[in-house]
Each structure stands twice: as structure tokens, then as C-alpha cells.
Amino acid sequence: MNRWRIGVDVGGTKIAAGLVSTTGLLDERLVLPTPATEGASAILGTVQRAVETLRASLPPGDVVTGVGIGTGGVVDHARGVIVSATGLLHGWAGTRVADELHARLGLPVAIDNDGNALALGEHRFGAGRGHQDVLYVAVGTGIGGALVLGGELRRGAHHSAGELGHQPAPGAEGRPCSCGGRGHIEAAASGPSITAAYRERSGDTQVTDLRVVAARAAAGDGQAAGAIEEAATILGKVVAGLANTVDPEAVVIGGGVAQLGPILWPPLETGFRAGTLPPLADVPVLPALLGPTAAIVGAATLVADTGSAAETGSDANTAAQRETAHRTSSKEHS
């Protein structure tokens, strides 16, 4: 008999889910469109359908012991509740996700911010493995982050520890940010921001995809290369400031922007080294290893492998059970 957890990544456009072994092996995976404008009940229903589909695919005797979910927004992990959420997910804020899905599935359910889920995946099975203190940075459509200190994820008093997307950034002054503010790192180094900077530099208003910018940079377009290099340098400086604060053993950079390759990493490294204090001179800046599967694998690690609900059919998912799952999961990450 094999025991599996199901990890779910809830995004604004798609919901990705997969069967994850206790050793971090991602087996079967599926992707469904997110009914983002239809409200919380529709989103929960899609997650339920994904979980049930994966569960039904298992051979006889194999069991699912729990479901872990990573999602954008601020999440109260201990209570399984969405505190606040991006406007892309209508009605998601305030949803008691753990209780609602447990009632539908009869399985232990844990939920956390997607940046935390990504960090857990990389800490346990990826680039952060073997390090007790890791600063994780996710750079994609937005910018997020997470902290693993002493082998445990630190969520903070208001569930937002490690977030750096809305830190003021030198060189980003005046640039509009997705949060409504200006001058934040997300306004300078996220995928859409780099693309916007290229449009401003080149005058080509038709470019809306970072992949086009990266391809042009690789082909020798100086304006494209300059937009990427400027963003990478600014990102490195901001990450350095946070590293000075938390003193990690390693910094792990993931997300779609981090996959731009050689054009991104040297200026990022330069910006980071220029901003760190001398004791952090040897802190490595590492590319994430798990790629697009990190959120699924990380989400699955949120759930303790107790198997209680899967084996007994219990429909109790009390706060005490979730807290026990949280403590066990935290120990597993050490």
C-alpha cells in the first residue's frame, strides 16, 4: 500500500494538482481552469473535482492521507482561512477553505500562501535542502517570498513574514505597483514590469510577453537586455537588504522570471553582493530546482502524513487536528 498526499496550487487562471509521495515524488498531475470570477464555492468545487479525480486514479490499496493547498493572498494557516486575497479570485477572502474542503472530501486539509508552499517544497526537496535558514524569493507575475529559519517556516504575527514584493526599491521610484502603491520591487522586477520597461525603452508597444523580451535580448537587442539587467540588479539589492535582516544560509530564487537564464543571474548576483554586509559575503544565491512543480510538492508537505481521515473516514477536522498537522509538518521540514 502506498500513501499519497495531494498538493494543489490555486492560481488566478488555473488550478494545478498532483499526487505527491512522502519522498516528494510528483506522480500524476492535472490542470483545470480556475473559475476565478464565479466565487469561492466554484473555486472550492474545482479543487474538489481535481482531488477526487486524482484519488480515483490510484490503484486498489493506495490511499490519500491529506490535501495541501497553496494560494495567492494572505492565509491564516492555523485556522485554514483566507485572510485577504487578490482581486483575481472573487469572493476568496474570508473563505474557511480547510473546513469547507474537509466537509466535502473527508480528508485532512491544510492551506497556506503559495509563496510559503513553494518555499517548503524547495526547502525539503529542492535547492534549499540541507539548509536550516533559507530566504526564498519567487519572481513571476508578482513577487513573493518566504522564510525558513531554524528548519521551520516562519509565518509571522500577521501571516505575512518573508513577503518582499512591496518593499521600496531603489530605481523603482514612481513606478506603479499592482498593490496600488508606487516604487515597490514588484513594480521593477516582476515579469509584467520588465516587459513594460522594455516597451518604454524600445517604443514597441505591441510586446506584452516577457518571453518575447528574453528572446530579443538573446538575439542581441540592447534595449531588451538592458530592461532585464536593470530589473535583476534592483532585485538583487532588495534581496540583499532582507538577507542582511534575517542572515540566511542560502537564498533561493524561483518563479518564471528566474528561468530567464544567464542574462538574469550575473546582474542579480552583482546587485546582491553590492548590498550585503561582509558576514554574508559567501551566502549562495541559488536557482530553485523544482520548477513549476514546486507549488504542488510544497503544498503537499503542509499536511501531516497521519492517514487518519483517509483510513477511518472521520469527518472531524477540528482546529486541534489542524494544529497537530502543522506541528508535525514543521518538524518534517527541520
Domain-wise residue ranges, the chain: 3-118+292-332, 130-288
d(CA 162, CA 122) in angstroms, rounded, equals 15
Q: What is the pLDDT of residue 317?
A: 43
Query: How many of the other CB atoms lie within 10 Å of CB of 266?
Result: 13
Q: Backbone phi, then psi, for 84, in 5-degree steps?
A: -150, 155
Q: What is the pLDDT of residue 141?
A: 85
Provide the CATH topology of domain 3-118+292-332: Nucleotidyltransferase; domain 5 (3.30.420)
- Give the chain as a 3 state SS string: CCEEEEEEEECCCEEEEEEEECCCCEEEEEEEECCCCCCHHHHHHHHHHHHHHHHHCCCCCCEEEEEEEEECCEEECCCCEEEECCCCCCCCCCCEHHHHHHHHHCCCEEEEEHHHHHHHHHHHHCCCCCCCCEEEEEECCCEEEEEEECCEEECCCCCCCCCCCCCECCCCCCCECCCCCECECHHHHCHHHHHHHHHHHHCCCCCCCHHHHHHHHHCCCHHHHHHHHHHHHHHHHHHHHHHHHHCCCEEEEECCHHHHCCCCHHHHHHHHHHHCCHHHCCCCEEECCCHHHHHHHHHHCCCCCCCHHHHHCCCCCCHHHHHHHHHHHHHHCC
d(CA 232, CA 166) in angstroms, rounded, equals 16
Let me know if the fold of 3-118+292-332 is the same as that of 130-288. Answer: yes
pLDDT tens string, the chain, 334 residues long: the values are 899 999 999 988 899 999 999 889 999 899 999 999 999 999 999 999 999 999 999 999 999 999 999 998 899 999 999 999 877 899 999 999 999 999 999 999 999 999 999 999 999 999 999 999 999 999 988 898 999 999 999 998 999 888 888 889 988 898 988 888 899 999 999 999 999 999 999 999 999 999 999 999 999 999 999 999 999 999 999 999 999 999 999 999 998 899 898 999 999 999 999 999 999 999 999 999 998 788 899 999 998 643 433 333 333 343 334 333 333 333 333 3
Q: What is the pLDDT of residue 322?
A: 39
Q: What is the pLDDT of residue 312?
A: 33
Q: What is the pLDDT of residue 307?
A: 40
Q: What is the pLDDT of residue 199?
A: 97
CATH of 130-288 given 4.10.110.10, 3.30.420.40, 2.40.50.140, 3.40.50.150: 3.30.420.40
Q: Are strands 14-21 and 26-33 parallel, antiparallel or unpaired?
A: antiparallel
The C-alpha cell of 183 is what?
516604487
**Alpha-carbon dihedral of residues 241, 245, 251, 252, nearest 10 degrees?**
-90
